[in-house]
Amino acid sequence: MNILLLGSGGREHALAWKLAQSPLCETLWASPGNPGIREVIAEVNARRDTSDEAGLLGTCFETDLTDHAGIVDFCETHRIGLVVIGPEAPLVDGLADTLRGAGIPVFGPSGRAARLEGSKGFTKDLCEKAGIPTAGYVRAASEAEAMAALDRFGAPVVVKADGLAAGKGVTVAMTMSEAQDAVREIFAGRFGEAGAEAVIEEFLEGEEASYFALTDGGTIVSFGSAQDHKRVGDGDTGPNTGGMGAYSPAPVVTPDIERQVMTRIIAPTVKAMEDEGCPYSGVLYAGLMLTAAGPKLIEYNCRFGDPECQVLMMRLESDLVEVLSACATNRLGAIEPPRFSPRSALTVVMAARGYPGTPDKGGAIAGIAEAEQDGGAKVFHAGTARTGNGELVASGGRVLNVTATGASVGEAKDAAYAAVDRIDFPSGFCRGDIGWREVERERQG
């Protein structure tokens, strides 16, 4: 099968790495891709017998992800049998609809189904209708309505821009004045269209965890749990980021909690989406708060988490091409459910100094081969580029995902940080405590 992967981050490098391990993967193409994905594609190409099919070798190439007709054209010319869409923006923008309309199998939801991530208000209304446990909320279309809602909840309270805001649209306000500032910012246009509406939410207390499920709209299968670390600094301090590290599985998601999440949150969502006339297909990534009253939904994402995907891929034992392809073609019920290693995987994000503000770009990176020696770790590229003379440099905020496995979270953490120590990235930094909650629990036995 010829496969096209869209996206350029560590999540997509991990997907590429796992897709390439499948005997079903004949050629792999990526747009825009990154230097790590380019290496994966070179390995796929190297194992290919091109004697009678000259020219059919994968590559990374630039496209405009909003040019849906251009992507369909590419897929037809290259006989693409599966498109995997990594990031949320093209999904919310309806790229999967255009591809499906052209008869091209695609992993990822339709634009209307991707509203689960694209509109927080849509998701809250859906949860209310279906009785899915989540924080109490008010949708507000004006500053005055939002301010009135704040009074109703009192501090602490959570203020969210309705639409996609690159992870920056949420304020967990501990005081009323912080909450009022957040409301003013939204309606002053800080998030553009994404802030045309706001959602004011009850503050939930508990530990956060992520849960993943795959569905083709009918069958639903578990795709594991993980825990992310959103704050930039050790001890969960400092500003929010896209995620500074993750591990999987998250033992706080016990088998009992998993059952509750599946029966009270995921399954009713899939059913409600069908009832809405927009059946969901792809990965449902549920951000959960494990409260004293049971797990509650914080938010949905319509794509894999980044860096959660990296730890899931490290543990996945099933053939990723078979799984994603079955999901894309409504055959999820016809294959074995995805299997994962019981071992823990942990990833440490190495970021460029300045992140999550303006990151220092262009810093040299060396030592990846040393970090990966003896198969002890896997380093995924998240924001790297090659200069004209082939030198690897930082090109984004989150730069590398140094990932390892172990019999416990503590062991995986030690292996990942041993690999971090071998990487020479003077303009980079990372958190030193990824996995701390679980390592602490393991220590206490």
Q: Which residues of this protein are in contact with ligand AMP, per CB under 6 A? A: 135, 158, 167, 170, 172, 201-204, 208, 230, 287, 298-299
235: which residues sit within 8 A by CB, 6+ positions away? 433, 436
Please identify which residue in the block is written with the tokens 């207390």.
205
Residue 70 · residue 78 · CB < 8 Å: no
Rounded distance, CA 89 to CA 66, Å?
Answer: 9
| Nearest residue to 425 via CA among 387, 394, 390 | 394
Which member of 97, 308, 319, 372 binds ligand GLY (CB under 6 A)?
308
Rounded distance, CA 195 to CA 55, Å?
Answer: 47
Rounded distance, CA 31 to CA 212, Å?
Answer: 25
Residue 110 or 123 having the CB closest to ligand AMP: 123
List beta partners, residue 386. 392
| Nearest residue to 171 via CA among 144, 143, 198 | 198
Residue 34 · residue 41 · CB < 8 Å: no
Residue 154 or 333 having the CB closest to ligand AMP: 154
Residue 172 or 366 having the CB closest to ligand AMP: 172
> Cβ 228 to ligand GLY, closest distance in Å?
5
Residue 216 binds ligand GLY, judged by CB under 6 A: no
Residue 5 or 71 having the CB closest to ligand GLY: 5
> Cβ 437 to ligand GLY, closest distance in Å?
16
> Cβ 298 to ligand AMP, closest distance in Å?
5
Hey, what amino acid is at 378?
K
Phi/psi of residue 378, each to 5°? -130, 130
Question: Binding partner of residue 301 among ligand AMP, ligand GLY, none, CB under 5 to 8 Å per kind?
Answer: ligand GLY
* Closest chain position to ligand GLY (CB): 243
> Cβ 271 to ligand GLY, closest distance in Å?
24
> Cβ 444 to ligand GLY, closest distance in Å?
27
Residue 134 or 301 having the CB closest to ligand GLY: 301
User: Given its phi and psi angles, is residue 315 left (phi above 0), alpha (psi -120 to 50 degrees) or beta?
Assistant: alpha
Residue 88 binds ligand GLY, judged by CB under 6 A: no
Rounded distance, CA 229 to CA 217, Å?
Answer: 30
> Cβ 11 to ligand GLY, closest distance in Å?
8
Residue 302 or 321 having the CB closest to ligand GLY: 302
Question: Binding partner of residue 410 among ligand GLY, ligand AMP, none, CB under 5 to 8 Å per kind?
Answer: none
Residue 242 binds ligand GLY, judged by CB under 6 A: yes
Residue 167 · residue 242 · CB < 8 Å: yes
**Strand positions, DSSP E, 259-317:** 282-291, 294-301
> Segment contacting ligand GLY (CB under 6 A): 18-26, 150-158, 302-310, 412-420?
302-310
> Cβ 168 to ligand GLY, closest distance in Å?
12
Tokens representing 7?
């996206």
Tokens representing 292?
């004293």
Residue 44 or 91 having the CB closest to ligand AMP: 91
Residue 260 or 291 having the CB closest to ligand AMP: 291
Residue 301 binds ligand GLY, judged by CB under 6 A: yes
Please identify which residue in the block is written with the tokens 């981050």.
9
The residues binding ligand GLY (CB under 6 A) are: 228, 242-243, 301, 305-306, 308
